[in-house]
Structure 1
Amino acid sequence: MRLPALLALMGIRATGSFQLQAVASAAPALVAGLGLSYAELGLLMGAFMVSGIFVAVPAGLLARRIGDRAVLLGGLVLMAGGGVLAGLAGSFVLLLAARVLSGVGGVAVLMLVIKMTTDRFSGPMLSTATSMVIVTWPAGMAASLLVMGPLAASGADGWRWVFALSGLPALVALLLVPLVGQPQATQAGGAHRAVPPAPRWPMVAAASLCWALLNAAIAVMAGFLPGYLIAHGSAPAPAASFASLASWAFAAATPFGGLVADRLTGRAAAVMAGAVATAGLFAAVVASGGAGVVVILLGVSFALSPGALTAQVGEATPPSARAAVFGWYSGGSYLGLAIAPWMAGALRDASGSAAAPLLFGAALMLGLLPAYVWFRRSVSR
């Protein structure tokens, strides 16, 4: 496994989740300063990803034409620019537009990093490599909560600094792009051997639905767990730090989740077990009132599914089609990430219960089970 390329891909992908989580980090300040509802907060969370529904596939096709690196560099620049504009926004509408702009760059970056990882590490350890890249998603979220939460609470304009600085890691990541290396086929000087048959669209649709449900549940956990803890008596800054434990646990456990899938249980069992465990632990967080050990276990439970699922999609897709297929696959997750936070926020507004979003997260993970069965059947046909 080529460590420099892997570390570079990990660092680049972390920029997306760091910027995505800016809304959750600044949520109390946005409610107090701009008078936003929780549904509007959910829209701001989802706005970063909503462009992915329309951008992911064209970005994949553009990368195939002009190269992965060129699109990756452009995406990072858009992320940084959108963050600055969000910090200067004077209304909800302008803030929403700035988040969409950041998201155009962010979705291209997130999609391409997964595709580039599959190109460089295909083989028996693909779940492990993919898991190590995916781990940067919760790590970026946790770092954002840890750093940006106190910054948002520092004063009346704290939320502006949160958004303005949320794009700074993307600027730093520009320096990592030259380190990502070349795909395995390019280094070998020839085409991939034993190219599998072209995937069927039902497989792509099923994989995209699975990825959408999984990422939607992660977004609900990261976006609404701090609010649940605040509703149970915690101050905003400590709640953000405490909620970050779930994301840190997810980050720490995800590489081991990939190893478990590759070496012990098999990838199918890892996906199914992860879905059931995560649904149960969402409910356990509510039942326990946010007990620390349960919050940590919730993060750990998310670690089993992502790498195993993504590795199966990569293996079922010919190398020449991966840019387009991972565009659709990522687009599915962006649909979930765009809609789920708004739905979770609307559920909280309608019910008046801070637990409603977390129970919604449990339902999303249970929905992953039939979607994954559909995916497996589509692959085997």
Structure 2
Amino acid sequence: MHQADRMTSSEQRAAGSLAAVFAFRMLGLFMVLPVLATYGGNLAGATPFLIGVAIGAYGLTQAFLQIPFGMLSDRIGRKPVIVGGLILFALGGLLAAQADTMQGVILGRIVQGAGAIAAAVMAMVADLTREQHRTKAMAMIGMSIGVSFAVAMVAGPLIAARAGLEGVFYTTVVLALVGIALVIWVVPPVSHAERHRDAGVIAASFWPSLRNPELLRLNYGIATLHAILMASFVAIPLALQEQAGLPREEHWWVYFCALLISFFAMVPFIILAERKRQVKGVVVGAIALLALVQPMLWLSVNSLPWLVSAIVLFFVGFNLLEATLPSLLSKIAPAGGKGTAMGIYSTSQFIGAAVGGVLGGAVFGAYGLGGVFACCGVLALSWLLIGVKMRQPAHVSSYRLPLPQELVRDEALLRRILAVPGVTEAVVVAEEAAAYIKVDTLVLDREELDRAVASDR
């Protein structure tokens, strides 16, 4: 695990351009959230239930196609799958932009979700970066998702105010086309695509990941988090407009303030989770905040200052969990199984988004705004009851360690690796000539690890 000082220009180009591709696609998906409830009501056939379906519809196809598309990219190449997914995303945007009925918008959102390129992008990042820089490249993509969400919450209302709902969807088409151009002309070519256990789904790891109670708890959590998000965006824009009296053209500043304040508010808690190793306490506290803020949203709908304050607290809890849960998964997932665990986690997230949109629309139609916030509160409480039982995770990091070919069949190799101080878990994969290890970086003796895998020992 020798560290090169910095990424090569090719690695920087690959990580930056793929992060941009990911961000443009997620920006296109998220921009619709703050405007669909307020602008979609003018479409023929619009009902609260169908608006909820439209908000979460992308999650259905995204959930079921993400893992198959990732596996397909192992066979036919990363770029064809990513470009094909972005074409589907653009076509879905066109369908939704030209639709004059809510059913047409739903169809467009379903087609947008079918462009499920997340797994293929992650695998391509792994193909184009060296082991010692892969975590950094993955972190760039994670940051791009957070930035795209923040930009979307502000850009969606601004674009809709000037060009209507169809303008938002046309913008998603342009973003998809820019992404295609980046993939074709900027992202470096992959000389040899491989299956990466830390970036892709491996069939042998699938069942163990599904049986792991800690991972199951986490999968339920991310599904619940995104169900609450989608259901909330059936209600929050309407609460701002119809109850608090804020015109829909001005909603952007509410989301801007909420996201800006929540960003600075969550930084100390992320430091507490990572540096002070209090991940469980931070996660459980954020879930509790998410549960407590629901009655606040309900009670403050007639007062703009109080409603905005409740929305700020909602985003503090949401963004803190969105930032912390992937790190938690990385700590919990078994060595060599992080990619599979992440694939199941992402699938759970998109299923939650689909269910949340439908649930939010149905509850709003039957019980109004208060019903939606009560429903979200029950969801958050159910997660809290499950979350308090989670174990405090070991504070470990995952690495893929290339091995000399002559050592991969050495039966003593695994014992030597596990004997190194700081190594908590390891698995040797002979066909990849690599070992996947989990280490406590504060304890790890790197020199001893290098000696354990040296071919001339």
Instruction: Please give the alpha-carbon distance, in whole angstroms, between the structure 1 residues aligned to 2:264 and 2:83.
Output: 28
* Bigger mean CA offset, 269-278 vs 288-297: 288-297
Aligned to 2:226: 215
1:304 has 2:310 as partner: no
Whichever residue aligns with residue 328 of structure 2, its letter is Q
- What SS does structure 2 have at the residue aligned with 1:361? helix
Partner of 1:368: 383
The one of 96, 114, 130 aligned to 1:104: 114
C-alpha deviation, 1:70, in angstroms: 4.0
Aligned to 2:294: 282
- Answering whether residue 164 of structure 2 is matched by residue 164 of structure 1, we say no
- The answer to whether the Cα contact below 8 Å between 1:23 and 1:41 also exists between their aligned partners in 2 is no
Letter in 2 for 1:83: G
SS for the counterpart of 2:46 is coil
What is the CA–CA distance in structure 2 between the aligned matches of 1:268 and 1:130, rounded to whole Å?
Answer: 23
- Flag the 1:239–1:110 CA change in 2: closer, same or farther, 3 A: same
Q: Which residue of 1 aligns with 2:281?
A: 269
String of CA shifts for 1:332-372, please: whole Å, max 9, x gaps: 111110011221122122113x2332333333222223444
Question: Taking structure 1 as reference, are residues 224 and 118 closer, same or farther at Cα in structure 2, changes over 3 Å only?
Answer: farther
Counterpart code for 1:308 = T
Please, which moves more after superposition, 295-304 or 133-142? 133-142
Contact preservation (8 Å) 1:279, 1:363: yes
Q: Which moved more, 1:321-330 or 1:270-279?
A: 321-330
Are residues 285 and 151 of structure 1, via their aligned partners in 2, closer, same or farther at CA, if it must alter by over 3 Å? same
Residue from 61, 64, 69 that aligns with 1:51: 61
CA distance in structure 1 between the partners assigned to 2:13 and 2:316 by the alignment = 26
* In 2: Cα distance, 1:239 partner to 1:149 partner: 6
Distance 2:122 2:287 in 1: 21
How do residues 333-348 of structure 1 correspond to structure 2 at under 5 angstroms? Answer: 333-348=349-364
Contact 1:80 1:170 (C-alpha < 8 Å) held by counterparts: yes
1:11 equivalent in structure 2: 20
Contact (CA 8 Å) 2:294, 2:374: kept in 1 or not? yes
CA contact (8 A) 1:130 1:310 kept: no
Q: 1:213 to 1:68 in 2, by over 3 A?
A: farther
More moved, 9-18 vs 336-345: 9-18
Give the aligned partner of residue 455 of structure 2. Answer: none
Select the structure with the greater relative contact order (CA < 8 A; seq sep ≥ 6): 1
Displacement of 1:378 in angstroms is 11
Percent identity over the alignment is: 22
Alignment match, 1:146: 154
CA gap 1:133/1:370 in 2 versus in 1, 3 angstroms: farther
* SS of the residue 1:51 aligns to: helix
Q: Deviations over 1:159-194 (max 9, x none)?
A: 2222122232222233555877899xx99xx999xx
1:115-144 per-residue CA deviation (whole Å, 9 max, x = no partner) reads 777997999x96x98776445445434433
After TM superposition, give the deviation of residue 228 of structure 1 in Å. Answer: 1.3
Aligned runs of 1:1-381 on 2, under 5 Å?
Answer: 7-21=16-30, 22=32, 24-105=34-115, 108-112=116-120, 133-137=141-145, 139-154=147-162, 158-177=164-183, 198=205, 199-203=208-212, 204-230=215-241, 231-250=243-262, 258-289=270-301, 290=304, 291=306, 292-317=308-333, 321-352=337-368, 354-372=369-387, 376=391
* Distance change in 2, residues 1:227/1:310 (3 Å): same
**Mapped partners of 1:31, 1:374: distance in 2:** 42
One-letter code aligned to 2:111: L
Alpha-carbon deviation of 1:261? 2.3
The answer for unaligned runs of 5 or more in structure 1 is none
Structure 2 portions without partners, runs of 5+: 1-5, 199-203, 395-423, 425-457
Q: Is the 8 A contact 2:197 2:339 kept in 1?
A: no
Counterpart residue type for residue 279 of structure 1: A
RMSD: 4.1
Larger Rg: 1 or 2? 2
- Indicate if the aligned counterparts of 2:259 and 2:315 stay in contact, CA closer than 8 A: yes
- Cα distance between partner residues in 2 of 1:42 and 1:131: 31
Name the structure with the higher strand share. 2
Distance across 2 between alignment mates of 1:317 and 1:324: 9
Inter-CA distance 47–252: structure 2 relative to 1 (3 Å threshold): farther
Instruction: Output the amino acid matched with 2:323.
Output: G
- Whether the 8 Å contact between 1:81 and 1:102 is mirrored in structure 2 is yes
